[in-house]
Structure formats: structure tokens, C-alpha cells
Chains A and B, each alone.
Chain A
């Protein structure tokens, strides 16, 4: 049974650019959450998608947006990248139970 997968593994972008990160949930899971983990800190909740709608949102600016597809996979988009967006981006999936995390995408903004 495949767990949560994320792509790409690593990414380097320049300030002002846009980036798209992808997540495939664990088989059978229909809810996807995204978290940002800055170096040396705990993960911070960005938003959650369920039935292709954003259901909850954390304290992140509108530059952060997402999408969920009918097969429950999800994308995280970040526009106008800032140096402070450099972090590990974690995707988690769930089905009315605990959240299972993927390995993350390491984004570096230069």
C-alpha cells in the first residue's frame, strides 16, 4: 500500500517566481492537508482540502493557494516567492482518522 507521495523532492526557485508542489494521498484517503516547516521549527498548517474544496485555512497569505482533484490528489501553489518561503512543505492525508505525512518537498528560494 503506497503511502503519501510528494513531488518534486527538492526545488530551487528565485524570488518573485511561482511554484507548484504536488501530493498524492494514501490509498483510500480523501482529505489532504498542507504544512510548512521552516528550518528548526514545527510544521505550520497552511490549508486543507476535502471534496475539492478548501475546508480550513491557516494564517498564510493569499499567495498560497491550492487545488484538489477528483482523484483526491492535491497541488500547492505559491506565487511571488519570498526568501522566507524557503522551507520543507509537507502534505498529509486522512480519512476521518489521524493524518499521515509524506516525505515533503524542500523548497529553496534564492
Chain B
């Protein structure tokens, strides 16, 4: 069975500071990995995805994530956060495209001025 753990429930970061959100997954084969962002009252927006190739992937809004097979991790990073990055972030894993996504519980990011 596939599962995702996001160890940090809530992170507070200052505007302009760097951000790293942790994600650990459990899956038997090579997973498809995703990061989604959800603003209050909104649906989910895809930030980036990984399924093969370069283990450092670039996404929208200046986000990047690194796949580390040895650590079963897919951590999300941003060098300098903006107030608009305050949101809920979800890591997800799937056996492939068009397959069910298994989500972590999410990490809430608060940005202080």
C-alpha cells in the first residue's frame, strides 16, 4: 500500500526567508510524486511532479523538490517566500498518472511580515 507522511503540521516562516517542507512516502515501486497547494476555500493546484529523470524538479511559483530514493523523501523548497505563499501544502504519491492519489495530511505554512 502507498502512503505519505508530512511530519510538519504547521510551519511559520518570515517573508523572504527560505522554506522547506518535508515529505516521506512508502511505496513498493518507483512512485509518481506530486506537490499540491491549497489556498483557503480553494481546490488543489499542482506545484510540481516527479516520475523519472533528474531528481531535482522545478515547479511553478519558484518551488522545487528533490527526490531521494534512499531516504524515500520528496521535500519541497523555495529560496525566498512571499506572503502569497501562505497556504496548505500536500504531498501525494501514485503508482502512475491517472491512478488514485494518496495524500499526506498536509503542512500549513504561515508567512509573517
Measured CB to CB, the residues of A under 8 A from B are: 4, 31, 33, 35, 41-45, 48, 50, 56, 58, 90, 92, 94, 96-104
Query: If the complex has contacts A98-B34, A98-B46, A100-B46, are A41 and B99 also in contact, measured as CB distance less than 8 A?
Result: no
Across-interface contacts of A41 in B (CB, < 8 A):
105-106
Query: If the complex has contacts A41-B105, A42-B103, are A90 and B97 also in contact, measured as CB distance less than 8 A?
Result: no
- Nearest B residue to A33, CB-CB: B100
- B54 within 8 A of partner (CB): no
Q: Which of A48, A90, A94 contacts B44 (CB 8 A)?
A: A90
Encode contact with A along B11-47: 1 for CB under 8 Å, 0 otherwise.
0000000000000000000000010100000111110
29 A-B pairs with C-beta separation under 8 A = A33-B100, A33-B101, A35-B101, A41-B105, A41-B106, A42-B4, A42-B90, A42-B103, A44-B103, A45-B102, A50-B98, A58-B100, A90-B44, A92-B101, A94-B98, A96-B97, A96-B98, A97-B97, A98-B49, A99-B46, A99-B97, A99-B98, A99-B101, A101-B36, A101-B43, A102-B43, A103-B42, A103-B43, A104-B42
Across-interface contacts of A50 in B (CB, < 8 A):
98
CB distance from A41 to the nearest CB of B (A): 6
Q: What's the Cα separation between A106 and B69 when bound, in Å?
A: 37
The answer to whether A43 touches B99, judged by C-beta atoms less than 8 angstroms apart, is no
The answer to whether A45 touches B100, judged by C-beta atoms less than 8 angstroms apart, is yes
CB distance from B45 to the nearest CB of A (A): 7
- Nearest B residue to A47, CB-CB: B100
- Nearest A residue to B94, CB-CB: A99
Q: What's the Cα separation between A35 and B92 when bound, in Å?
A: 13
CB distance from B33 to the nearest CB of A (A): 11
